[in-house]
Amino acid sequence: MKPTESTGISRRRLMAMAGVSAGAALLAQPPLFAAEAGDAPMAAGASATPKNTSFASLKQIDAGLLNVGYAEAGPVNGQPVVLLHGWPYDIYSFVDVTPLLAAAGYRVIVPYLRGYGTTRFLSSDTVRNGQPSAVATDIIALMDALKINKAVIGGFDWGARTANIIAALWPERCKAIVSVSGYLIGSPASGKLPLPPKAELQWWYQFYFSIERGRAGYDKYRHDFAKLIWQIASPKWNFDDATFDRSAAAFDNPDHGAIVIHNYRWRLALAEGESKYDDLEKRLATSPAITVPTMTVEGDANGAPHSDPSAYANKFSGKYAHRTITGGVGHNLPQEAPEAFAKAVNEVDGY
């Protein structure tokens, strides 16, 4: 199935013009940090571009088990960049990053993950499986459908985990990755290990989702639940209702609840995965090193569970750098500091 457009030509041109004028100026500037700077902090600063409220182009394409909804921008022959969102977020986390990268000549693809937005399963019989290897396989299938052989892949939360997995299992498909909060590959076995009490407290929702009360609560109060996570994870980000509501619409997907609950139960070994992913999971359970060029980034005000960069630096055996983004930047780093995230993609692409 060929991609189908869901927006008009005039709107697309207006958005592209705005992105080019602002984005080209930003990414044409000298880098704000040097590759050899190691873990030097980088200030997010005030956004130099107008806040975008929509994408220039939204499409659908059959890929693997899914009909995937995705945003696309930039020249079709540009270096592909695939940007992956997390939970409870959606493609609008990259609504300001996308025009910056497109203006710099990248072909930018921003898909809704399974269970989000306009992405749908092609068959009602497919297991609504949220295990990370399944999500990563979806992205490989999407790249195949779009005839993208190799891409720079960037993401945060579930998206960073997915980027890590693709880089570990299919390094030939990754030119480089940008990973918010570092190395996120895990397994049910590691999920069984207890953490210090303060760390366990940060994962309160994971334990809540492990019981049926949590499943019912997430279904009943999904909007309020997601907003609370946003506030906890990004305590200094003063997002408005319109910004949240644009993303919250993606959680109305009929499979969203099942995917989210399965993902977190699988992590604690409370739900089975599918046998067809067993070989992939065995490889991931060894915590494989990532060999492709990598930049990890972290906001200085991330309220979500995350490790110190020193804890995962040795998991990246290729060319590697870490950036701490200052200025009160939380978990949703691409949306809170879009220029910093776009520059990270641009720099790691040159490694």
Instruction: Give the mean pLDDT of 283-304.
Output: 98
Judged against a pLDDT cut of 90, whether residue 120 lies above it is answered with yes
The string of pLDDT tens digits covering residues 223-240 is: 999 999 999 999 999 999
Q: What is the dihedral of CA 85, 87, 90, 95, to 10 degrees?
A: -60
Residue 23 covered by a domain? no
DSSP sequence for 171-229: GGGEEEEEEETS-----HHHHTS---HHHHHHTHHHHHTTSHHHHHHHHHSHHHHHHHH
Average pLDDT, the chain: 90
- CA atoms of 99 and 204, how far apart (whole Å): 36
pLDDT one-digit tens code per residue, 67-78: 999 999 999 999
| Six-digit token string for 274 | 């599918």
Q: Over the stretch 152-207, which tens digit does the pLDDT of each residue have? A: 999 999 999 999 999 999 999 999 999 999 999 999 999 999 999 999 999 999 99
pLDDT at 3: 64
Q: Domain total for the chain?
A: 1
- Residue 51 within any structural domain of the chain: yes
pTM of the full structure: 0.89
Give the pLDDT band of residue 150 (cuts 50, 70, 90).
Answer: very high
CATH of the domain at 315: 3.40.50.1820
3 domain-assigned: no
Handedness of CA 31, 37, 38, 41 (dihedral sign): negative
**Range of 69's domain?**
9-18+33-348
Evaluate if residue 84 carries a pLDDT over 50: yes
Provide the pLDDT for residue 51.
83
The model's pLDDT over 186-199, given as tens digits with 9 standing for 90+, comes to 999 999 999 999 99
For residue 252, list its beta bridge partners.
none
Is 24 among the domain residues? no
What is the token pair recorded at 234? 């990004």
Question: What percent of the chain is predicted at pLDDT more than 90?
Answer: 85
Q: Is residue 60 part of a domain?
A: yes
| Dihedral angle sign, alpha carbons of residues 109, 166, 163, 207 | positive
CB 81 within 8 A of CB 110: no
Query: Is residue 25 a part of any domain in this protein?
Result: no
Domain contains 27: no
Name the DSSP letter for residue 153. Answer: E
CA distance 161 to 175: 17
Task: Specify the length of the chain in residues.
Answer: 351
Does some domain include residue 1? Answer: no
What is d(CA 19, CA 324) in angstroms, rounded to the nearest whole number? 26
